[in-house]
Chains A and B, each alone.
Chain A
Amino acid sequence: MSKQPLLEVKNLKQYFPIKGGVLGRTVNHVKAVDDISFEVYEGETVSIVGESGCGKSTTGRAILRLDEPTAGEVNFDGEDLLSLNKSKMREKRKDLQIIFQDPYASLNPRQTVGQIIEEVLKIQNIGTSSKDRREKIISLLETVGIGAHQVDRYPHEFSGGQRQRIGIARALSVNPKLIICDEAVSALDVSIQAQVLNLLKELQRKFQLTYLFISHDLGVVRHISDRIIVMYLGKVVEISDTQSLFENPQHPYTRALLSAIPSMNFEEEKRERIILTGDVPSPIDPPKGCRFHTRCPYKMERCAIEEPVLNSVSDGQRVACHLVEKGAVDYTKIPVNS
């Protein structure tokens, strides 16, 4: 993967102001995403995982400029999205689409399925006549398994899984290069989740799509991803290819996350469980040094002072942790809380 990345996020920051007082002055900021960088290459599926509030959805929205990021660069296809003016950005949206978590909230209840897709086709100047567009809409819906007779129905007439397929059809309609799936299957039943995930994979092969997959469900992520980004409190703590991450997690937070996956393998009963204590600190006033140090079982003095940076530990695996820097002892051999 030495080629040019399709998406390159550089030092992205997203701070949300907290307004207070009678005059509505900005009293503080929620540092939802705080200086993160990563790349996504063409044709791959990269997942962002982390617990609620770690900034993964915010990252997705910031890339698409659905919220304007505070600082940083989002290079897409060789162009910095954040420097584009509004109309240029609107044109560019053809190449980047998003699928949201809640299939009930992401479709406008007052538009029929046909209208929902037609709108985006019209804006992005796809199709010459309305007849032409209609045919395209029907073929798109059929691609995702929705019949042609359902084109003129309203979203409330569909089930959750069907709505998510409609969302996918809408995202596909403009032939995007990148689709951000923001918890795209979390709201669905497990059986439907599998269907939708398989559909996404099939579509990826068919249309050479690149996915940025945002999820908190490690099972889903393992199934679909080529590479995984682990986030904690607005920071990237580990980036790794899927196999290395699951077989050889480096960051203590990643290890804790993985140990929380319920296992069906009863022989594996003695597996080490790392149970984190305390809550995630507030992103308004995050801890100094390593953000994870307040909950880390292997915390050192240095962790509270110096912020670790992402360092390569092997080909395709980068970690931000003082414990795993080159030449350090293997912390995983140290018993927890010794």
Chain B
Amino acid sequence: MLTFIIRRFLQIIPVMIGVTLAVFLMMHLIPGDPAQIMAGERADEAQVEQMRENLGLNDPLHEQYLRYVGNAIQGDLGTSIRTNRPVVNEIFDSRIWITIELAFWGTVLAVIFGLIAGIISATRKYSFADVSLMIVALFGMSMPNFWLGIMLIYFFSVNLGWFPIVGWESWKHMVLPVITIGSGGAAIIARMTRSSMLEVLDNDYIRTAHAKGVSERLVVYKHALRNALIPVVTVVGLQFGTLLGGAVITETVFAVNGIGRLVVDAIKARDFPMVQGAILVCAVAFVLVNFLVDIAYRLINKRIDLN
């Protein structure tokens, strides 16, 4: 198991090289001169040159890249143009934790509802419950987050007054954004669990379990679900990773100050170091989540080998 973790961890290195390279090159590939943009529109030639020198843009590309990576490893992602504070502080002081909290509870909600719905559907195939749950799931997948968010605000905040409209302070603030962000995942997990369970339930080892005299409940949970979970775990991992970087819309609708809004604001203000830093952090988070998923995968499926 330890060798597995180490070997899987080593695989992260080439991925990280690719990610940093992409983020770094973004700076050079976007139209316009970064130094000009950073120095501001009214800066004269000398000021732009000074900025270029300060940013090290006159050095060879590979040197710039190595310096960028070196700084990033030491936790230096540059300074935000907009706020003049270090990018790392902007991200880690509060923003990323709010997004992680949102993504985490969204995933928890998605897993709980998705699994329950998927199991009910699969064990009662073609029943009324199955058909209705799958129709609900179809809605869950098809509804855009901004629309669902607005509808939830309209009904539960404006009309019923149960929850606050915007912000991120108490658990009450979290309810509607978490539902908004988790609904899509719940629907995907429900459908995934259903099809995976149906496939597993048709296996001879399930009949073997019945023939042994294992009770219906244990057949479903011990023999079927554990085997059916393998593809579901992958989806959950991807879902959580996507939520980390993709909470932009939900955060905007509910005016939650997470990393998604930070990125949107930074793009609007052409705050390049900020955008770069946020993308890098999200990418690293995504890679780490997938690393954990692979370990979980290994734990539930002894047959997975890195070869």
Contact = CB atoms under 8 A, between A and B. Distances in A.
Pair from one complex: yes
Nearest to B300: A110
A106 B205 contact: yes
B212 interface: yes
Contacts of B131: 24
Contacts of A109: 205, 227, 301-303
Contact of A170 (B208, B300, B301): B208
Interface in B203-229: 203-205, 207-216, 223, 226-227
Interface in B257-286: none
A100 B213 contact: no
A150 to B, nearest CB: 15
A154 B214 contact: no
Contacts, number: 69
A105 B226 CA distance: 15
B215 A90 contact: yes
Contact of A108 (B126, B209, B210, B300): B209
Interface stretch (A4-12, A28-36, A117-125): A117-125
B174 to A, nearest CB: 36
B207 A100 contact: yes
Most buried by A among B127, B131, B210: B210
A326 to B, nearest CB: 42
A280 B111 CA distance: 47
A119 B214 contact: yes
A107 B208 CA distance: 8
Given A110-B226, A110-B302, A61 B214 contact: no
Q: Which one of B205, B216, B223, B302 has the highest number of Cβ atoms from chain A below 10 Å of its Cβ? A: B205
Contacts of B216: 86
Interface in A14-64: 19, 24, 61, 64
B204 A106 contact: yes
Interface in A95-114: 96-98, 100-102, 105-110
Contact of B213 (A90, A107, A108, A156): A90
B269 to A, nearest CB: 52
A98 B207 CA distance: 9
B303 A108 contact: no
Interface string A71-98: 0000000000000001000110110111
Nearest to A64: B211
Nearest to B203: A105
A93 B204 CA distance: 16
Contacts of A119: 209, 212, 214
B203 A94 contact: no
Contacts of A101: 204
A66 B131 CA distance: 25
A110 B297 CA distance: 12
A319 B216 CA distance: 40
7 contacts: A86-B216, A93-B213, A107-B208, A109-B227, A119-B214, A123-B214, A124-B212
Given A105-B205, A123-B214, 19 more contacts: A24-B127, A64-B210, A64-B211, A66-B211, A90-B213, A91-B213, A93-B213, A101-B204, A102-B204, A107-B208, A108-B223, A110-B301, A119-B209, A119-B212, A119-B214, A124-B212, A154-B303, A156-B303, A167-B208
